[in-house]
């Protein structure tokens, strides 16, 4: 009886956690609820010009992180390239005005030419916002109160040695902040108490090469959610998000992992690559938490594969956006390709789906808009007037677009758009 009651508590806790962001029209983490990159709003236009932005503000540094939103607040990070100072700003979603700002000293260090000192996105919950950054000497996790930006707790997880620098974003699950430390040595996954920052669990991981993917939650086994991670040492793997215990792993990613895993049609999609392009992408049929169902590769995807950008789904359709500007639409359950087209440009940001359209920003500063359909249709190409490596955020009918040093909005809340 106790076991049944415990399972019910876990299911209820997970259901409330999963329903919260969607119900509140929040965008709490990198690429929105569970990293899906999906919004059902119908208030974002197909095309626009700079005159159509509701507001546009300049940021006090540069960054490749994506903004996160909770209620009437938007949180965005950036850094000063000259000294690596870390900056977080809390702005009003209504007009972009400043609510509070905080700066934290850091140190410059070697990183990839395409990386910067503010590439990890923050994560936000009802009360706090959490940000991370790393140098070869320090891996810092910081919790700030949403209302005034007061520092609540800080953890230094130790040295962070990685050839290309830092980039993985944290997530919030239940009452924990979970983040990976997939670096070039001493790798682990850790869960910290949201209120205190104390370690709830820490799972050592094998060391092979640094990875930059952000975890997601898989709920196919409703008795126990699974924390899904991807890196080259473990491939696609599953941990118990409450304890950190390994459920299963499938060693199928032989090159560096940058893009994060995505769930679509009951499958987990993960990729790896090198030299600016994807080398392998797999659809994994996940195992269960009891070990009675083993994970397996459902199929491999061939052709122009993404290395950094993540896929996005529209029902059974899955859209892959390669770094070199080739977009593929396939049937997620079977892997059958519907179409593949070159849209031009180079991409580090991931596509998002807004109702029946795809939006993705090129490194050169162009927003590409496609129909999220089984037939290719280019809808618009929009000049953003500044380069960007980020992914848009959408909340309450508004899209928040982050370029290297600016943040702007397009669209209206549903009630306003119908007046």
**Per-residue pLDDT tens digits for 239-253:** 999 999 999 999 999
Q: Please count the structural domains in the chain.
A: 1
pLDDT band at 210 (very low <50, low <70, confident <90, very high): confident
- At 180, is the secondary structure helix, strand, or coil? strand
For residues 367 and 403, give the distance between their C-alpha atoms in angstroms, rounded to a whole number: 11
**Unique residue bearing structure tokens 């993404």:** 306
* pLDDT single digits (tens) 240-295: 999 999 999 999 999 999 999 999 999 999 999 998 899 999 999 999 998 899 99
pLDDT band at 222 (very low <50, low <70, confident <90, very high): low
Which pLDDT belongs to residue 416? 61
* pLDDT single digits (tens) 356-393: 999 999 999 999 999 999 999 999 999 999 999 999 99
* pLDDT single digits (tens) 139-150: 999 999 999 999
pTM passes above 0.85: yes
Q: How many CB atoms lie within 10 A of CB 73?
A: 17
Would you state the structure tokens that stand for residue 172, as one six-digit string?
Answer: 């919030």
For residues 239 and 246, give the distance between their C-alpha atoms in angstroms, rounded to a whole number: 4
Show the domain range for 37. Answer: 2-417
* pLDDT single digits (tens) 168-201: 999 999 999 999 999 888 899 999 999 999 999 9
Q: Give one DSSP letter per residue of 348-369, joined into a string.
A: -SPPEEETTEEEEE-TTSEEEE
Closest by Cα among 221, 223, 228, 185 to 205: 185
Span 80-93, average pLDDT:
96
Contact partners, residue 418, CB within 8 Å, separation at least 6: none
Lowest pLDDT segment from 53-62, 156-165, 379-388: 156-165
The enclosing domain of 8 has a CATH number of 2.130.10.10
């Amino acid at each position: 009886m106790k076991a049944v009651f415990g399972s019910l508590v876990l299911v209820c806790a997970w259901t409330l956690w999963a329903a919260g962001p969607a119900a509140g029209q929040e965008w709490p983490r990198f690429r929105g609820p569970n990293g899906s990159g999906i919004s059902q709003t119908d208030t974002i236009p197909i095309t626009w010009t700079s005159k159509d932005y509701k507001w546009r503000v300049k940021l006090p540094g540069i960054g490749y992180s994506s903004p996160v939103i909770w209620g009437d607040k938007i949180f965005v990070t950036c850094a000063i390239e000259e000294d690596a100072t870390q900056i977080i700003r809390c702005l009003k979603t209504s007009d972009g005005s400043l609510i509070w700002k905080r700066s934290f000293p850091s140190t410059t260090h070697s990183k990839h030419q395409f990386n910067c000192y503010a590439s990890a996105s923050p994560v936000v919950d009802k009360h706090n916002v959490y940000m991370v950054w790393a140098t070869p000497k320090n891996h810092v996790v910081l919790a700030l109160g949403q209302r005034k930006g007061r520092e609540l707790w800080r953890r230094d997880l130790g040295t962070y040695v990685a050839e290309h620098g830092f980039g993985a974003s944290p997530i919030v699950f239940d009452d924990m902040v979970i983040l990976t430390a997939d670096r070039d040595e001493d790798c682990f996954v850790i869960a910290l108490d949201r209120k205190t920052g104390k370690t709830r669990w820490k799972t050592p991981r094998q060391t092979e090469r640094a990875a930059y993917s952000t975890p997601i939650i898989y709920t196919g086994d409703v008795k126990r959610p699974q924390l899904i991670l991807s890196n080259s040492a473990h491939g696609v793997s599953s941990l118990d998000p409450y304890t950190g215990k390994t459920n299963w792993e499938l060693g199928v990613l032989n090159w560096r992992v940058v893009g994060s895993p995505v769930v679509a049609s009951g499958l987990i999609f993960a990729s790896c690559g090198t030299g600016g392009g994807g080398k392998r992408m797999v659809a994994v049929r996940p195992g269960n938490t009891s070990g009675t169902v083993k994970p397996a590769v459902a199929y491999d995807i061939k052709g122009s594969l993404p290395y950094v950008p993540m896929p996005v789904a529209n029902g059974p359709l899955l859209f892959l956006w390669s770094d070199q500007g080739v977009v593929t639409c396939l049937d997620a359950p079977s892997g059958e390709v519907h179409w593949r087209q070159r849209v031009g440009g180079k991409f580090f940001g991931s596509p998002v789906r807004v109702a029946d359209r795809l939006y993705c920003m090129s490194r050169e500063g162009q927003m590409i808009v496609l129909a999220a359909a089984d037939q290719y249709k280019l809808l618009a190409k929009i000049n953003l007037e500044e380069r960007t490596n980020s992914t848009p955020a959408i909340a309450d009918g508004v899209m928040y677009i982050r370029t290297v040093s600016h943040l702007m909005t397009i669209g209206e809340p549903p009630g306003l758009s119908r007046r």
